[in-house]
A and B are shown apart, each in its own frame.
Chain A
């Protein structure tokens, strides 16, 4: 499998805190790659660097062989890198359907937007199709702000998907979501992966990560500690050390990590 998206030796400091310190990550085409690590290990910052929200102090980000270091978020999205946020972000005062429509044309110039209507029949169809996929089609006309937390997660996933990106970065897709819905989300990701979509997933729920990921990278103190299959990572002593040393992980999480 070839590399689709990669970060190499990325560093970034916020004030005196070195959030990223020479971190490298590789996402292969067609894979589901997991990114785990204790709280504050720099996972979300790495996401932000890879999607253009944060400019790195050093290092580079490459997508399909093209250097995209420091490109603006809209440019990164236009090229085909979609993402969701840890704290789900939707357009609360627009309808669910309008939320979907924002993302339908990722390669369109803003000038074109002045002269065309909100949506074409084809875009509407695609939006409804993906809403159907995540099971929100019946709520299309509702104001998005009235959705529950779990529904917002699904909506965010749906409107990233409608733009048909090549790789999707998911920041804690199972965070704060009930068990049934976690399984639904896992199934959706796997189904999409079988159709050829590539995923990079940050998640604290180890069961979720171990179940769906082909390859896992463990981050610690702003750098990549270990990369391997879920099985390899689980038994790696350095990983257990990082979690124990991290101090802010619960016993259950350690247990989960050890037992898978």
Chain B
């Protein structure tokens, strides 16, 4: 079993590495970059919200902060367009984390459902701020120095940087799951007061998880800003981003390592494909997403990964019991 799962990971990595070499259509490469970015965001979101049960519907706070940091840093440092802008990506992730500290201190004072509402409220505060402040360029947004790469080749560097960020996100999430810190997040999910009474410093653990998830999401925002060239407040502080990332995790498997990866790859590539193919009906995917969300909640409330695992387990035990019955029949 263990060996098989390692093989799956390896196969996935190989496919991801060769994909842009095989897939030469720039439109599809673009889809692949967004898929990687969203999968990384979902993985990172799940590392806090999935493990701790604190559903964050304001993850775009990190994404937008990362995007704006990238542009602001590039402009203030008078950088010219090119690969050097990638150095600002981790820096933007750090800025998103720093912004996450006061935000987390406010939002994490409350529990569960109230927390969800607070994260949405804080998200709108950020969107409003980005729209109205002078240094963010208001509704006109910000522009990053022009990157003079050939159109046919443009997305390839973005692809590999996004892939690196995704791999980092997966390793981080897996590391957290194995650490004592991860155990404490799970304990908080199951019973926060009980965890507190067993010495878990819940406030510090929650804030750390929240801020950590902001690092990767902020980096993804920065890569998006670089790729787009121009950012607007309503697209980087986008309520759809909040919902999509959460949906990916619920779809694939909330609180599991593989779930957000499956959810991200399936949903984001499907969404991008539909948008590109039916560009006139750009909101078609929203209707499909809504229907899908309902189906998942109704029939697979714990996500595909858990559903398939359960199904496989039941199937195996059925086979085993029928085999035992057969042997018993022979014996008698």
Interface residues of chain A, those whose CB is within 8 Å of chain B, are 51-53, 72-74, 77-78, 83, 85, 89-94, 98, 101-103, 105-110, 112-119, 159-160, 163
B34-53 toward A: CB 8 Å interface, digit per residue (1/0)? 00000000000000000000
- Whether A105 contacts B189 in the complex (CB less than 8 A), given A113-B180, A113-B205, A114-B208, comes out as no
**Cα separation A53 to B186 with both chains bound (whole Å):** 21
Contact of A92 among B190, B196, B201 (CB under 8 A): B190
Q: List 15 A-B contacts (CB under 8 A).
A: A53-B193, A73-B197, A90-B194, A91-B186, A91-B191, A91-B194, A98-B183, A102-B195, A103-B198, A113-B179, A113-B183, A114-B179, A116-B179, A116-B180, A117-B180
**Cα separation A76 to B48 with both chains bound (whole Å):** 27
A93 touches B180 (CB 8 A): no
The 4 A-B residue pairs with the shortest CB-CB distance in the complex, in nearest-first order: A91-B190, A113-B180, A103-B198, A113-B181
Q: Does B3 contact A (CB under 8 A)?
A: no
Rounded to whole Å, the gap between the CB of A122 and the closest CB of chain B is: 14
A102 touches B200 (CB 8 A): yes
Q: Which residues from chain A contact B183 at a C-beta distance below 8 Å?
A: 94, 98, 101-102, 113, 118
Rounded to whole Å, the gap between the CB of B43 and the closest CB of chain A is: 18
- Whether A94 contacts B187 in the complex (CB less than 8 A), given A110-B201, A117-B180, comes out as yes
B197 touches A83 (CB 8 A): yes
B235-256 toward A: CB 8 Å interface, digit per residue (1/0)? 0000000000000000000000
- Whether A110 contacts B208 in the complex (CB less than 8 A), given A102-B183, A116-B179, comes out as yes
B197 touches A74 (CB 8 A): yes
A77 touches B179 (CB 8 A): no
B interface, over-half SS: helix
Q: Which residues from chain A contact B198 at a C-beta distance below 8 Å?
A: 74, 77, 102-103, 106, 159-160, 163
- Identity of the chain A residue whose Cβ is nearest the Cβ of B212 in the assembled complex: A114
**Cα separation A19 to B214 with both chains bound (whole Å):** 44
Quick one: which of B179, B190, B198 has the most chain A CB within 10 A? B198
Contact of A106 among B178, B180, B189, B199 (CB under 8 A): B199
- Whether A112 contacts B196 in the complex (CB less than 8 A), given A74-B201, A93-B190, A94-B190, comes out as no
B194 touches A85 (CB 8 A): yes
A77 touches B208 (CB 8 A): no
Contact of A163 among B189, B190, B199 (CB under 8 A): B199
Q: Which residues from chain B contact A52 at a C-beta distance below 8 Å?
A: 197
**Cα separation A78 to B204 with both chains bound (whole Å):** 15
Q: Does B92 contact A (CB under 8 A)?
A: no
- Whether A77 contacts B197 in the complex (CB less than 8 A), given A117-B179, A118-B179, comes out as yes
B187 touches A115 (CB 8 A): no
Q: Which residues from chain B contact A53 at a C-beta distance below 8 Å?
A: 193, 197
Contact of A51 among B179, B186, B197, B208 (CB under 8 A): B197
Q: Which residues from chain B contact A91 at a C-beta distance below 8 Å?
A: 186-187, 190-191, 194-195
Q: Which residues from chain B contact A159 at a C-beta distance below 8 Å?
A: 198
Q: Which residues from chain A contact B196 at a C-beta distance below 8 Å?
A: 72-74
Q: Does B202 contact A (CB under 8 A)?
A: yes
Rounded to whole Å, the gap between the CB of A75 and the closest CB of chain B is: 9
Q: Does B269 contact A (CB under 8 A)?
A: no
Rounded to whole Å, the gap between the CB of B192 and the closest CB of chain A is: 10
B180 touches A118 (CB 8 A): yes
Q: Does B90 contact A (CB under 8 A)?
A: no
Q: Which residues from chain B contact A74 at a C-beta distance below 8 Å?
A: 196-202
Q: Does B184 contact A (CB under 8 A)?
A: yes
Quick one: which of A72, A73, A98, A115 has the most chain B CB within 10 A? A73
- Whether A117 contacts B184 in the complex (CB less than 8 A), given A77-B198, A105-B199, comes out as no
Q: Does B66 contact A (CB under 8 A)?
A: no
Rounded to whole Å, the gap between the CB of A137 and the closest CB of chain B is: 20
- Whether A90 contacts B202 in the complex (CB less than 8 A), given A113-B180, A117-B178, comes out as no
**Cα separation A160 to B178 with both chains bound (whole Å):** 22
**Cα separation A72 to B215 with both chains bound (whole Å):** 30
Rounded to whole Å, the gap between the CB of B183 and the closest CB of chain A is: 5
Q: Does B182 contact A (CB under 8 A)?
A: yes
**Cα separation A85 to B191 with both chains bound (whole Å):** 12
Contact of B199 among A78, A112, A117, A118 (CB under 8 A): A78
Q: Which residues from chain A contact B181 at a C-beta distance below 8 Å?
A: 110, 113-114
Contact of A102 among B179, B184, B208 (CB under 8 A): B184
Rounded to whole Å, the gap between the CB of A200 and the closest CB of chain B is: 15
Contact of B205 among A78, A98, A106, A110 (CB under 8 A): A110
A110 touches B193 (CB 8 A): no
**Cα separation A163 to B187 with both chains bound (whole Å):** 16
Q: Which residues from chain A contact B193 at a C-beta distance below 8 Å?
A: 53, 73, 89
A118 touches B197 (CB 8 A): no
